[in-house]
Amino acid sequence: MRILLLEDDDAQAELIQATLEHAGHTVVNAREGVEAIRIVEQSSVDLLILDWMVPGISGMDVLGWVRERMGRALPVLFLSARVREEEMVTALQAGADDYIVKPIRRRELVARVTA
C-alpha cells in the first residue's frame, strides 16, 4: 500500500515510516499541508495519515480538501497528540476514518492501517 504521511516532526515521521515500511508499505512523507495536497493531486496514494498540527494548512484542512474533492474514496487516519474526546469526534465527523493518539504503538498502527 502507498501511504502519504503528513507529519512535521522528523523523529515521529521516521518512526512511523520505518514501522510501516517494515510491514511492507511504501511511505511518502510531507511536512506541510500544502505539500500533502500537492502529492495527492500529482500521484496515487492508498491511505492518508494526517497529523493535526503542521505548518501552514492543518491536517484538518487537508482532510476537508480531500473529502470535498475526492469524497470518501481515500481512507484517512488521523494521528495526533490531541487527546480530548471533542477533538477526536471533530476529526471523525469531518470525515476521518480512524483516529490514533500519539505516542504511537507500533503494532496498533500497523493493525489499523491494515484494517
Give the domain ranges of the chain: 2-114
| Segment 26-30 mean pLDDT | 97
Grade residue 115 by pLDDT with cuts at 50, 70 and 90. Answer: confident
CA distances 80 to 44, 69, 84, 91, 114, Å, are 24, 23, 11, 10, 19
3-state secondary structure (DSSP) of residue 98: strand
User: What is the CATH topology of the domain spanning 2-114?
Assistant: Rossmann fold (3.40.50)
pLDDT in tens, 90-105: 999 999 999 999 899 9
Residues 6+ apart with CB under 8 A from 8: 31, 32, 51, 53, 54, 55
Which of 83 and 51 is assigned the larger pLDDT?
Answer: 51
pLDDT of 82 above 80? no
